[in-house]
Amino acid sequence: MAVVPRVQRHLQTLGTLWCVYGIYRLITGFFGMFFVHAFAGRHWGGWDGGPWGNWGMHGPPWLALLPVIATITVVMSALALFAGFGLLRRKPWGRILAIVLAILTLFRPIMGTALGIYTLWVLAPGASGLEYDSIADHS
């Protein structure tokens, strides 16, 4: 019985998980921003004072950061999808992008941490790099 190397066994799953994570992050990010904007911007009724303060009709000044947060969410989601595509298509840059994103994703509790650890376990060892290069599509 032939033993299939670790990268070949896990590459399809890893690529799929990165694509799913990119979509998940995009959806949850926009839902979160919608609710923060709705509550803090008083679109669902005003709270006079309370935990949000009394900032008037337009909400707290930090609400202006939502476009920046939206941009970061879209970019990180696109990079996750791009990494998943690169791994599924066995592109030479897919491994490096996935490792970099795995390190950044380690700080996102539960799903991000689990995906980051799994990615680093599969792709980070030196032998994994040699194995990935041998199966990569260099066209």
At residue 85, the pLDDT reads 97
Q: In this structure, is residue 112 part of a structural domain?
A: yes
pLDDT in tens, the chain (139 residues): 677 788 899 999 999 999 999 999 999 988 888 877 776 655 555 555 555 555 555 566 667 777 888 889 999 999 999 999 999 999 999 999 999 999 999 998 999 999 999 999 999 988 888 889 888 887 7
Q: Quote the CA–CA distance of 40 and 100 in Å, as a whole number.
A: 34
Q: In this structure, is residue 3 part of a structural domain?
A: no
At residue 127, the pLDDT reads 87
Q: Print the domain residue range for 128.
A: 9-135
pTM of the model: 0.82
Q: In this structure, is residue 73 part of a structural domain?
A: yes
C-alpha 14: how far from its chain's center? 13
Q: Quote the CA–CA distance of 90 and 136 in Å, as a whole number.
A: 5
Please measure the distance between the N-terminal and C-terminal CA atoms of the chain and give it in whole angstroms. Answer: 32
Q: Quote the CA–CA distance of 139 and 136 in Å, as a whole number.
A: 9
At residue 40, the pLDDT reads 65
Q: In this structure, is residue 1 part of a structural domain?
A: no
Which three-class secondary structure state does DSSP give residue 43? coil
Q: In this structure, is residue 17 part of a structural domain?
A: yes
At residue 14, the pLDDT reads 97
At residue 36, the pLDDT reads 75
**Number of domain units in the chain:** 1
- Residue 111 sits at the vertex; the CA angle it makes with 105 and 116, to the nearest 5 degrees, is 40
At residue 35, the pLDDT reads 79
Length of the chain equals 139
Q: In this structure, is residue 111 part of a structural domain?
A: yes
110: left (phi over 0), alpha (psi -120 to 50) or beta: left
- Residue 51 sits at the vertex; the CA angle it makes with 49 and 57, to the nearest 5 degrees, is 50
Q: In this structure, is residue 2 part of a structural domain?
A: no
At residue 56, the pLDDT reads 57
